[in-house]
Amino acid sequence: MDNLDTQISYLNDLSSNLDKYLEEIVLKHKDKLISLIQLRLLNKGIDGDNKLLGEYSESTKAKKRKKGQISSHITLKNTGSFYAGMFLTLESNVITIDSKDRKTDLLTSKYGESILELTIAEGENFTEKTIDQEIQKLLDKMGDINITI
């Protein structure tokens, strides 16, 4: 019975402290969350609502091509300081991604706050591939239940 009692105790602890474990998982993988946003902006030029940010003017496209930068869509990556300044905070189970770059307020007022938000698909993917796997690791620590009759 000792093994079963240990398992029950472990599950009770996991259940009681699930918010704390989820917070630890999110903070452990904060760079992954930030890179999801950066890669989406860079590769697709869409915000967290899956809306295209727009296209550059012809003169900007020419300048971008000359620099070897993406010119097919707005990426919000000219100097790289907006991307480099991105950080994640977690408060009351709410994940917020922002940037320390001085242009952040200008960019969010022009393109919307959702430029710094995950798409639904990104959130689901992160949950499935990261959070679920980390929770499974916690469950795997329990080991097998051995009951002898």
145: left (phi over 0), alpha (psi -120 to 50) or beta: beta
**What pLDDT does residue 6 have?**
75
The residues, ordered by sequence, that sit 6+ positions from 73 with a Cβ below 8 Å of its Cβ are: 44, 45, 52, 53, 54, 55, 56
Low-confidence stretches of the chain (pLDDT beneath 50): 1
Q: Give the CA distances from residue 145 to residues 70, 103, 114, in Å, rounded to whole numbers and listed in that order.
A: 55, 55, 46
Reduced to 3 states, what is the DSSP secondary structure of residue 39? helix
**Tens digits of residue pLDDT in 99-111:** 999 999 999 999 9
Whole-structure pTM value: 0.83
Mean pLDDT of the chain: 90
